[in-house]
Structure 1
Amino acid sequence: MTISLDTVAKANESTNLSRFCRDTLSPLSRSDQRRWGEVYVRGLVTVPGRKSIRRICETIVGARADQCLQQFVNQSTWRWEPVRRNLAEHVTAESTPKAWVVRDAVFPKSGTSSVGVASRYVPAAGRTLNCQVGLTVMLAGDAAAVPVNWRLLLPRCWDADERRRNRAHLPATQRYRPRWQVMLDAVEEMRHGWGLAPAPVIADVAEQRDVEPLLRALEERGLGYLLRVGQQVPAWSSRAGANRVPTVGDLALLAVRPSARTLNWQIRTEARVAATRFVASPVPCEADAPGFGNVRMVRRYQPARHLLAQWTVGRNRPRATWLTNLNVARLPQLIDLVKLDGVAAEHLDRMQDDVGLRHFEGRSYRGWHHHVTLAAIAYAYRLGRELGDSREDLRIRPYA
């Protein structure tokens, strides 16, 4: 009897995936939960097209066991926090992430019953969508990023809607909170609850008008950050009766001077090569003279707080602006961190269909958290398989 190489490869693949699931799902105390967890992850990895619970069951289990899998994902009481922590430890065991990148994940929905769903403007889409919005913290390296922690961003309209809250099994403690507070909570859980060594926090808060509370909270905790901010954001907190505070955009215009710390960079795409310039400048905390025209003369600065601006050659306004407390003397390394936000965005976008992140059909709060946790495990496995032994940054080589 001849066994084809393809059959052997499939058997090895199945064994590797089982071993990966056994390790990452080990915090689940019950054997039946670990078994159904592997079925779901295996389905997210291997089932083509839409990865519904019914299709996963038909493909993986070979029987109509969708009620059992439905119960495991949507109603079972297993805790997702230890599983996420375990996944994070697996990722960091191979290589220390260069950053914790915070991104939003959008789940378009029809209807109004899915937990946290609302009609809201989505900056990434440039339009208003009926959707859920999740926040994830991703462990990022030069070529890959894995989401390990999640939060569901609840809109205000869900706070007083007891009917929808009860139907979605939303805990009483879960209420609307500003995005920066949700983000800080997720980061603190990873740092103190999980005991992970912190990395610089990268986030896009360009849609947030007041970023000072987040900046102060990160600084008080001794966390490094690189936050993309809008150019209309005030450069510092003003005192009562003070003159108009300059914006980040104002400081970016003033920062372009011969003595500024700058670095020219080339961005290569398939279509062309674009020249861009990065400029770093300290952020003052208050002006010594009325108005902000003399902001160049400011002598008092926020401790280690700097502005980073990206200029496209030939433009009269910066393309993007960031606030950071990292060492701007190492500007190339700082720009490498800027690029990690794009790496994280690319991988989160791939997850939407590759492992069915946006295919979840459940409506409950518990089900949403179970699904995104298992989808992250599925993506970590696929990523490790793709990168294999050539991976030098964020490796998951034992499962490649």
Structure 2
Amino acid sequence: MLDGRRKSIQPMAERLPDGNMQALQQFVSQSPWDHAPVLRQIAGKMTSALGPEAWVIDDTSFPKSGDQSVATSRQYCGALGKRSLCQVGVSVHAVTDQASSPLSWRLFVPPDWDDRNDDRRRRTGLPTQVGHVEKWRLAIETLEELISWGLAPQVVVADAGYGQSAAFRHALRSRDLDYIVAVRGDETAHRHDAEPEAPAYRGAGRRTLPRYRTDSVALYELAAAGGRRAFRQVTWRQGSRGAMRSRFRVLQVRPAGKIPRALAAADAGGSAAWNGILPSETLLAEWPPDASAPTDYWLTSLPPDTAIRRLVRLAKIRWRIEHDYREMKHGLGLDHFEGRTWRGWHHHVTLVTAAHAFLTLRRLDPKVEAPA
């Protein structure tokens, strides 16, 4: 939290009175302290202070100049806007319109780090039991961790990188977690009154799963049906430039996507529980006044009679996580860590999370005087 542009170990140590870089290096990169109990304490304290309205999931990239840091690979790097060498961290944040805070993190391990004979795994201390897992699965693991810590589940919010996955939405439903997630307009679905039919069983082989007799259509077509008159104006919060408002529509749809039968069966408690049909969901669509067609879409497990202002507030609340990432990177050095180890990366993001939590609590403290 001190002044200084770089927040890697050497420049930070040089700004301390004793300048003991070796001690700081040892504490962050080699010391065996467990980061999980620290994050658990931070998560509990911040949840009590914030009273979150949602848990927001996202991921952020850490650009690297070489491929020897743990889980570094050539992949899409959001910080640079292109494919480049980087690490990617998945995080879950407690969020309100006024404040937010990261609760826990997962480091994404790319497929090229799965080779157990890769010498990089040994040098970086990557645990043998850790391998490549899709980002949406890391998010689910993190949510399960938060619940195991005794935190009350909140509505899960995520961008289309997660929302497009029918498997991710199914995993949330199977855990009784409500969600509102962004999707693309070309995602297909059936109208709410479409009914799947199962072909008659002929007494041999596996039963054929039910199927729809009508073709699915893109969400943008379903949303645009009825024109602008089907949309209503909603104001969801006050921004720095005044009231934030746009036009929205809510309707029920039946998503046309599929998820692996084995995944569905595992979550549902057996293959007999899965009929191959995704459950109906509520579609929220936005058609700004200055646009020629709807522009943004969200699917949610919340019922269609949920107040539309609440749906819009939750869908739009994801802006807070971008604020967190910006503050943690620009002010606290989230992406400045130059160590290479699995332990060091987790220690670093935990310490940055603690610093961010401290600053957030200071801002929320009514006794703190505003700067002149």
TM-score range, shorter chain: 0.7 to 0.9
SS at match of 1:359: coil
Question: Which 10-residue stretch deviates more, 85-94 or 308-317?
Answer: 308-317
Counterparts of 1:71 and 1:369 in 2: how far apart (Å)? Answer: 14
Q: Offset of 1:49 from its aligned partner?
A: 1.5
Q: What residue number does 2:300 align with?
A: 324
Aligned with 2:337 (options 353, 356, 360)? 360
Paired residues of 2:236 and 2:313 also in contact (CA < 8 A): no
Return the offset for 1:232: 2.3
Amino acid at match of 2:47: T
How far is the alpha carbon of 1:105 from its aligned partner? Answer: 1.6
* Alpha-carbon distance in 2 for matches of 1:94, 1:268: 22
Aligned partner of residue 49 in structure 1, secondary structure = coil
> Which residue identity does 2:222 align to in structure 1?
L
Query: CA separation of 1:186/1:353 partners in 2, compared to 1, >3 Å: closer, same or farther?
Result: same
Shift of 1:58: 2.8
Q: Is 1:265–1:278's contact at 8 Å kept on the other side of the alignment?
A: no
Shift of 1:244: 4.5
1:249 equivalent in structure 2: 220
CA offset at residue 124 of structure 1?
6.5
**Shift of residue 69 of structure 1?**
1.5
1:283 aligns with 2:253: yes
- Structure-1-length-normalised TM-score: 0.74
User: 1:309 & 1:125 partners in 2: Cα distance?
Assistant: 30
**Structure 1 match to 2:169:** 215
CA contact (8 A) 1:208 1:230 kept: no
RMSD over aligned Cα atoms: 3.0
Match of residue 342 from structure 1? 319
- Distance in 1 of aligned mates of 2:59 and 2:318: 12
Residue 135 of structure 1 aligns to which amino acid in structure 2? Answer: V
Aligned AA (1:387): L
Equivalent residue for 1:164?
120
SS at 1:46's partner residue?
coil
Mapping for residues 83-94 of structure 1, pairs under 5 Å: 83-94=38-49
How far is 1:163 from its partner?
1.5
- Residue 227 of structure 1 corresponds to 181
SS of corresponding position for 1:369: helix
CA–CA distance in 1 between the matches of 2:106 and 2:339? 16
Aligned: 1:187 with 2:155: no
Q: 1:52 to 1:314 in 2, by over 3 A?
A: closer
Residue 360 (structure 2) aligns with: 383
2:32 matched to which residue of 1?
77
**1:388 to 1:106, Cα distance in 2 relative to 1, 3 A:** same
Aligned counterpart, 1:100:
55
Q: d(CA) in 2 for partners of 1:222 and 1:256?
A: 35
Q: CA deviation at 1:208?
A: 5.8
Structure 2 equivalent of residue 203 of structure 1: 158
User: Given the alignment of the two structures, is residue 136 of structure 1 paired with residue 91 of structure 2, yes or no?
Assistant: yes
Q: How far apart in 1 are the matches of 2:222 and 2:367? A: 43
Match among 133, 138, 154 for residue 177 of structure 1 = 133
- Per the alignment, residue 14 of structure 1 pairs with none
Change (3 A) 1:367 1:175: same
Distance in 2, Cα, partners of 1:352 & 1:73: 18
- Indicate the SS of the match to 2:157: strand
Equivalent pair of 2:163/2:169 in contact (CA under 8 Å):
no
Distance, in Å, in 1 between the alignment partners of 2:94 and 2:226 is 32
| Residues 257-303 of structure 1 deviation map (CA, whole Å, 9 limit, x = unaligned) | 75x573344898888998621111111257xxxxxxxxxxxxxx975
Shift of 1:209: 8.7
Query: Any unmatched runs of 5+ in structure 2?
Result: 191-195, 197-208, 257-276
Q: How far has the Cα of 1:165 moved from its partner?
A: 1.3
CA drift of 1:314 comes to 4.1
Normalising by structure 2, what TM-score?
Answer: 0.80
Q: Structure 2 vs 1, CA of residues 256 and 195 (structure 1 numbering), >3 Å: closer, same or farther?
A: farther
Whole-angstrom CA distance in 1 between matches of 2:237 and 2:295 = 13
> Alignment length, in residue pairs?
330
Query: What does residue 28 of structure 1 align with?
Result: none
Output one character per residue of 1:143-162: Cα deviation in whole Å (capped at 9) or x when no partner: 22111100011111111261
Residue 249 of structure 1 aligns with an amino acid whose one-letter code is Y
Q: 2:74 aligns with which of 111, 119, 127?
A: 119
Alpha-carbon contact 1:136-1:147 (below 8 Å) kept:
yes
| CA deviation vs aligned residue, 1:320-373 (integer Å, no higher than 9, x gap) | 111101244311112111232012211211110211111111111111011001
Indicate which of 47, 50, 71 corresponds to 2:6: 50
Structure 2 Cα separation of the partners of residues 104 and 169 of structure 1: 22
Higher helix share: 1
Residues of 1 paired with 2:79 and 2:224: CA distance?
26
**1:380 counterpart SS class:** helix
Question: How far does the alpha carbon of each residue in 1:168-216 deviate from its partner, in whole angstroms, 9 at most, with x for none?
Answer: 111112111111111111111101x211000001111x24695211111
Task: Please state whether the residue corresponding to 2:317 is helix, strand or coil.
Answer: helix
For the residue of structure 1 that corresponds to 2:125, the secondary structure is coil
1: CA distance between counterparts of 2:89 and 2:354?
17
Structure 1 118/389 Cα, relative in aligned 2: closer, same or farther at 3 Å?
A: same
Distance in 2 (CA, whole Å) between partners of 1:109 and 1:240 is 47
Q: Distance in 2 between matches of 1:63 and 1:51?
A: 17
Distance in 1 between residues matched to 2:295 and 2:237, nearest whole Å? 13
Percent identical across equivalent pairs? 34
- Whole-Å Cα distance in 2 between the matches of residues 133 and 65 of structure 1? 30
**8 Å Cα contact 1:235-1:248 kept in structure 2:** yes
Letter in 2 for 1:378: A
Distance 1:116 1:239, change over 3 A: farther
